[in-house]
Structure 1
Amino acid sequence: MSDLMFSNLLEDDQEEYGAVETMDPELYKATIGGDLLEFVREMERLANDRHPYYLPASCVQLGPQKNTILHLATSYGHHEIVKLVCKDLPHLLAEKDARGDTALHLAARAGDTNLILLLTDSDYAVLALLGATNEEDNTPLHEALIHRHENVARTLIDKNRNMNYSVNHEGKSLTYLAAEAGYVAIISLLMDNPVGNYALDGKHKIKSPVHAAILGRNIDVLKLFWRKDRSSFYKRCEKGGNPLHCAAYIGFTDGISFLLKKSYILAYLRDRQGLLPIHMAASQGHVDIIQLMVQDRPDSREQLTLQGQNILHIAAKSGKCRALERMLKMPELEKLINEKDADGNTPLHVATIYGHPKVVSSLTWDERVILQLENKDGLTALDIAEEQMKPYMASFQKRLTWMALRVVGAPKAPHSKSVTDVNLMLDEQPTTENYRDKVNVILLVATLVATVTFSAGFAMPGGYKNSDPNQGIANMLEKVKFQEFVICDSLAMYSSIAVAVTLLWAQLGDQKSMHVALKLALPLLGIALAMMSIAFMAGVYLVVSKLNWLAHFVLFMGSNFVIVLVLLFLPLCFLGSSNYHRFRFLSYCPFCLMLYALGSYAENEAAE
């Protein structure tokens, strides 16, 4: 087949299926290798021996990403090759790769000032390249600022200070990017020359450089903007927030102090959600910001959202436990503790509604919090928690929230419908199949415990005597730990058998009897598990008692495990309330352990 026929077939295939660009492999290697003599040789070879499907008519070699030899040389920082290509093939300066980048974009992104000077050596290059944008609408100057190359940015600005630049696809102008990076000198240069101007094409919403300075925590940049363009401090972000909202959200204390001093009115402007800056600080748990704002503008403590919620409501809603605990210690916020919002909800109600058990716990243990307060629906916090306790619907966070209220003896409303409704929900709403699933799981565990303890009863530690007159009697019968083993093993087996029998009866009854059986079976199962653990500890202690340190280690480890087991199992069996502080504290311990074990504390800490 002739070369012409092969070429025609190749063109037909490209038209039908499409094909990627390809560069001569030897030229590609020479370019990225950086050997100038080898590069020149390969260029001369291609010029003398052109293949129709290797070298297009334009004489521009393109790689798979539409990158030219100038792109490659720039990417690898080969200055001599870049200089030669710019001189002999200047039309490659304007070529763009698959992402729309020219070689100048790549040099700016890399932060190589020498490459910038080589690529912009001619007036043609300056005019053609400085304003060229890629797919993200970034010019080379944008790229230099985005990648924090201050010297490169200054070099590009100096090339043409009268040039106007557009914003990129994110709505970020050059001034915004410089403010984000904290380049005071660059910002001053941009604002004092036409280069800082940008075209308002209507495609993108322009982001405020003042917000960028706050996000970058650059107080010097803020001061510069205040001197040169005070009107920019009243521009809103896409969510309608002013710079003080932004500073409160990220916890920028120096920025808050500066803004309150220069323009306190910002503290009284709402965003699109109706939130004021102090509410934003409360939602993120920035207590230092709240203290600063309350000290500077004392009436800010009274500021409410459109729903009538104060800063304690906001912190409770967001689950900011540590922040709320610190706010409760602030004397100036004491009057807000039991304040109601538009729906009559106090911060305790709000924390209950949103299922934040640690926040609820912190509030309920504060003596100033009135647990009896009702909202407009006549519900106390406990009423709300019980309404959310529908089986198979409430999350475990909601169940822990209910526990937090129960352990401190939180009351129900005198005429609340939830007094009877909750019992109905707990007893009647679940389907028989749902109850049977629970029964089957507990029955399986009880059966396993009974099996294990039964086997252990005949595999006594230390074995049996083989000679008369005491044949078959346990060797360690007189030892206290052996007696402890036998008693605990027997209790574990009988308790587990009692659980199994109770649940077998439950299988034959209705939902009410199943519910009663479950309430009886859980404590019995807890006893069986605890006794089995103690029996195991006693048995192991017996067989290693000759090695004193190991025996004591077994006792220490086993005792601690039994305590943890009881604390973990207690909330599943019973979590009552009491007016006696000591009893409430005992109930509170397993509740806190459940929070730690199941990640509630960790979740709140991560959120803060």
Structure 2
Amino acid sequence: MSVPKYPGLLEEGEEESHETTETMDPQLYRATTEGDILEFVRAIEHGTIGRHHNPPASCVQLAPQNTTVLHIATSFAHYEIVKLICADLPFFVAEKNAKGDTPLHIAARAGDSLLVTLLVNTDFKEGGLGEKNDEGNTALHEALICGHEEVARILINKNPKMAYSLNNKGRSLLYLAAEAGFGTIVRMLMDNPVGNYTASRKHKNKSPVFAAILGCNIDILKLLWEKDTSLFQQRSGEGKNPLHAAVCMGYTEGVKFLLNKHYEFAYMKDKQGFYPIHSASSKGLVNIIDLMLQHRPDTRELLTAHGQNMLHVAARSGKCKAVEYMLKMPELEKLINEKDEDGNTPLHLATTYGHPKMVSILVRDERAILNLVNNHRQMPLDIAEEHMEMGLASFQKRLTCMALKVVGAPRAHQASTSRSISVKLGDQPETESWRDKINVILVVATVIATMTFTAGLTVPGGYINTNPDQGIATMLKKVKFQEFVICDTIAMYSSIMVVVTLIWAQLGDPSSMHVALKLALPLLGVALAMMSIAFLAGVYLVVSKLSWLAKVVMLIGTSFSIALVVLFVPLCFLASSNYHVYHRLSYYPFCLVLYTLGT
């Protein structure tokens, strides 16, 4: 299908269409919209439609959207005009507009019971009860979709034995009534042939049971069970049974009802290979996990299609509260180090998917074994560092690597050796990646050195111009000035050391780049922190006479300095150390990062 270069203009070779849009007599249209019945009758009598000629539908005057006078009068709720048309020109009831709506569709959608009654009592094709619009909806469908129970009751009572099919979205009347929570309508539908419902293969997920669960309506759910238990055997397109659906909705009352009525649901997989207990774990629904374990305690042994237990699933999804709940249960202890089909423990999965808080929770549990290897001979730290070295290290995965390092998590010997060999061989794309990182840090360090050098020679307050102290800083004895000088000096020399270290890395072999970066990043962090504190001290010093401004400057500077530390710690975290004291000291800044970022 070609798209015109200039929409609205004809392309070369196209034929111009001379079709004229439908139009209605202005006098008739105005009278209908304003509800002026006398003017309406006068317009009808003088127009193309005579009341006594009863013309066919082809003679009906139509507005641009193919709307008749009955469509217009119904949409404006002009009862007298609607009543007059239904009595004298009943064929209007079956006319459809551009969207396939009859006047009855419009009245049902508006929930106007009086208009609906007028229209359905018209002796013309049963008031168009079975007529569908372009969406496949009858007037009864529209009433249920829009939540008009009284209108729905009127339409059903008009012809209780009428058969209604699914609309274009595969929704039956029973589905819509259950979704709306209309218990009386559900009962009416199920007590008559109109309520007999079997979902087609294409629309499996349109079961009324799923609709009741979606609406969290326990009364409808109970009524459906009472009337037809076979409805509960239908599954969604994803293979989920009603218990899966209730779990995914977090519908505790529905979960309890289904477990009591048909506990077998708890032992059925969906197409993803999840049992309901796994669906609850993947969403972190602690109350539902607890409820299911109380009713069916052996569900904790169920495994997904990939051999993962409920703790695997929660760890993979990053649901910390669910994992903390499970770790407190002694009966779930064996799940902590259990492996899936790929040999991954929950800790492996939490590391793979980059959930630092989850990793922190698991490694703090004394029962977690940190040196278990998966089928690829990798421990959790190997996975984390592999992501770092492959350039896949998002901020989350950087924190994940930190979470393992602060507790001294070990590496697999084989994997560590292979990484070392890889670095020494110096794969060209990886080497270029390291050089790019070094160049970025080199530029930052050079800028810091330049700025701190300049600040050191243009100190706050200037210098004394008279003897015998000529050239001495005027604020030399101020504590904040001394703080400024010390921090500025540290920042300058730290940045210079970073520059020198990275120059060596650029000139040396590829294996030295990684080591240089480990040394340079912490020094750069020190330089940034000291430069920030020096700036804070200098500004505070020059505004100290105005107390409130000095306090504001101090508050802002302190807040941003803390934020700087929090953001920079994950970037400059060094490799794992063998010293326990180092692990303990490293743990606290890491916790601060997690708490600050809410990770």
Give the TM-score normalised by structure 2: 0.88
Would you say 1:66 and 2:66 are equivalent positions?
yes
CA contact (8 A) 1:144 1:150 kept: yes
CA contact (8 A) 2:199 2:206 kept: no
Task: Check 1:213–1:481 CA distance in 2 against 1; reply closer, same or farther (3 A cut).
Answer: same
* Mapping 1:472-511, distance limit 5 Å: 472-511=471-510
The answer for unaligned runs of 5 or more in structure 2 is: 1-13
Code of the residue aligned with 2:258 in structure 1: it is L
CA contact (8 A) 2:90 2:123 kept: no
* Mapping 1:219-368, distance limit 5 Å: 219-368=218-367
Task: Check 1:248–1:451 CA distance in 2 against 1; reply closer, same or farther (3 A cut).
Answer: same
Alpha-carbon distance between aligned partners in 1 of 2:392 and 2:533, rounded to the nearest angstrom? 36
Alpha-carbon distance between aligned partners in 2 of 1:553 and 1:368, rounded to the nearest angstrom? 48
Name the residue aligned to 1:416: 414
* Mapping 1:349-498, distance limit 5 Å: 349-413=348-412, 415-421=413-419, 424=422, 428-429=426-427, 430-498=429-497
Once the 2 structures are TM-superposed, how far is the Cα of residue 210 of structure 1 from its aligned partner?
1.4
CA contact (8 A) 1:164 1:197 kept: no
CA contact (8 A) 1:165 1:198 kept: no
Once the 2 structures are TM-superposed, how far is the Cα of residue 35 of structure 1 from its aligned partner?
3.1
* 1:58 alignment partner, SS class: helix
* Mapping 1:162-177, distance limit 5 Å: 162-177=161-176
Name the residue aligned to 2:120: 120
Name the residue aligned to 2:134: 135
Task: Check 1:395–1:112 CA distance in 2 against 1; reply closer, same or farther (3 A cut).
Answer: same
CA contact (8 A) 1:408 1:578 kept: no
- Higher mean alpha-carbon deviation, 201-210 vs 401-410, is at 201-210
CA-to-partner distance for each residue in 1:77-118, whole Å, 9 max, x for gaps? 222232233233322221222222111111111111111112
Name the residue aligned to 1:538: 537
Task: Check 1:137–1:375 CA distance in 2 against 1; reply closer, same or farther (3 A cut).
Answer: same
Code of the residue aligned with 2:75 in structure 1: it is S
Once the 2 structures are TM-superposed, how far is the Cα of residue 386 of structure 1 from its aligned partner?
2.7
- Higher mean alpha-carbon deviation, 548-557 vs 168-177, is at 548-557
Task: Check 1:464–1:418 CA distance in 2 against 1; reply closer, same or farther (3 A cut).
Answer: closer
Once the 2 structures are TM-superposed, how far is the Cα of residue 505 of structure 1 from its aligned partner?
4.7
CA-to-partner distance for each residue in 1:278-314, whole Å, 9 max, x for gaps? 1221122112112112111221211122322211111
Once the 2 structures are TM-superposed, how far is the Cα of residue 160 of structure 1 from its aligned partner?
0.7
Once the 2 structures are TM-superposed, how far is the Cα of residue 189 of structure 1 from its aligned partner?
0.8
Name the residue aligned to 1:5: none
Task: Check 1:418–1:64 CA distance in 2 against 1; reply closer, same or farther (3 A cut).
Answer: farther
Alpha-carbon distance between aligned partners in 2 of 1:452 and 1:37, rounded to the nearest angstrom? 87
Alpha-carbon distance between aligned partners in 2 of 1:426 and 1:87, rounded to the nearest angstrom? 94
Alpha-carbon distance between aligned partners in 2 of 1:112 and 1:426, rounded to the nearest angstrom? 80
Name the residue aligned to 1:6: none
Alpha-carbon distance between aligned partners in 1 of 2:174 and 2:219, rounded to the nearest angstrom? 14
Task: Check 1:232–1:507 CA distance in 2 against 1; reply closer, same or farther (3 A cut).
Answer: same
Task: Check 1:449–1:25 CA distance in 2 against 1; reply closer, same or farther (3 A cut).
Answer: farther
* Mapping 1:529-608, distance limit 5 Å: 529-577=528-576, 583-595=582-594, 601=599
* 1:417 alignment partner, SS class: helix
Once the 2 structures are TM-superposed, how far is the Cα of residue 533 of structure 1 from its aligned partner?
1.1
Task: Check 1:141–1:374 CA distance in 2 against 1; reply closer, same or farther (3 A cut).
Answer: same
- Higher mean alpha-carbon deviation, 312-321 vs 383-392, is at 383-392
CA-to-partner distance for each residue in 1:404-458, whole Å, 9 max, x for gaps? 2222211123x43344416735983444543343233223322332333233233
Once the 2 structures are TM-superposed, how far is the Cα of residue 195 of structure 1 from its aligned partner?
2.6
Alpha-carbon distance between aligned partners in 1 of 2:448 and 2:424, rounded to the nearest angstrom? 28
CA contact (8 A) 2:426 2:511 kept: yes
Alpha-carbon distance between aligned partners in 2 of 1:155 and 1:231, rounded to the nearest angstrom? 29
Code of the residue aligned with 1:110 in structure 2: it is A
Task: Check 1:509–1:410 CA distance in 2 against 1; reply closer, same or farther (3 A cut).
Answer: closer
Alpha-carbon distance between aligned partners in 2 of 1:43 and 1:14, rounded to the nearest angstrom? 38
Alpha-carbon distance between aligned partners in 2 of 1:245 and 1:426, rounded to the nearest angstrom? 51
Task: Check 1:535–1:390 CA distance in 2 against 1; reply closer, same or farther (3 A cut).
Answer: closer
Alpha-carbon distance between aligned partners in 1 of 2:198 and 2:81, rounded to the nearest angstrom? 36
Once the 2 structures are TM-superposed, how far is the Cα of residue 151 of structure 1 from its aligned partner?
0.8
- Higher mean alpha-carbon deviation, 178-187 vs 270-279, is at 270-279
Once the 2 structures are TM-superposed, how far is the Cα of residue 167 of structure 1 from its aligned partner?
1.1
Name the residue aligned to 1:93: 93
- Higher mean alpha-carbon deviation, 525-534 vs 55-64, is at 55-64
Task: Check 1:396–1:493 CA distance in 2 against 1; reply closer, same or farther (3 A cut).
Answer: closer
Considering only aligned residues, what root-mean-square deviation do their CA atoms show, in Å?
3.0
Code of the residue aligned with 1:21 in structure 2: it is E
Once the 2 structures are TM-superposed, how far is the Cα of residue 239 of structure 1 from its aligned partner?
1.8
Percent same amino acid among aligned pairs?
A: 63
Alpha-carbon distance between aligned partners in 2 of 1:27 and 1:254, rounded to the nearest angstrom? 57
Task: Check 1:20–1:590 CA distance in 2 against 1; reply closer, same or farther (3 A cut).
Answer: farther
Alpha-carbon distance between aligned partners in 1 of 2:201 and 2:472, rounded to the nearest angstrom? 96
Code of the residue aligned with 1:114 in structure 2: it is L
Once the 2 structures are TM-superposed, how far is the Cα of residue 215 of structure 1 from its aligned partner?
1.6
Task: Check 1:17–1:436 CA distance in 2 against 1; reply closer, same or farther (3 A cut).
Answer: farther
Would you say 1:39 and 2:40 are equivalent positions?
yes
Code of the residue aligned with 2:34 in structure 1: it is G
Task: Check 1:489–1:227 CA distance in 2 against 1; reply closer, same or farther (3 A cut).
Answer: same
The answer for unaligned runs of 5 or more in structure 1 is: 1-12, 50-54, 602-608
Name the residue aligned to 1:3: none
* 2:298 alignment partner, SS class: helix
CA contact (8 A) 1:31 1:69 kept: yes
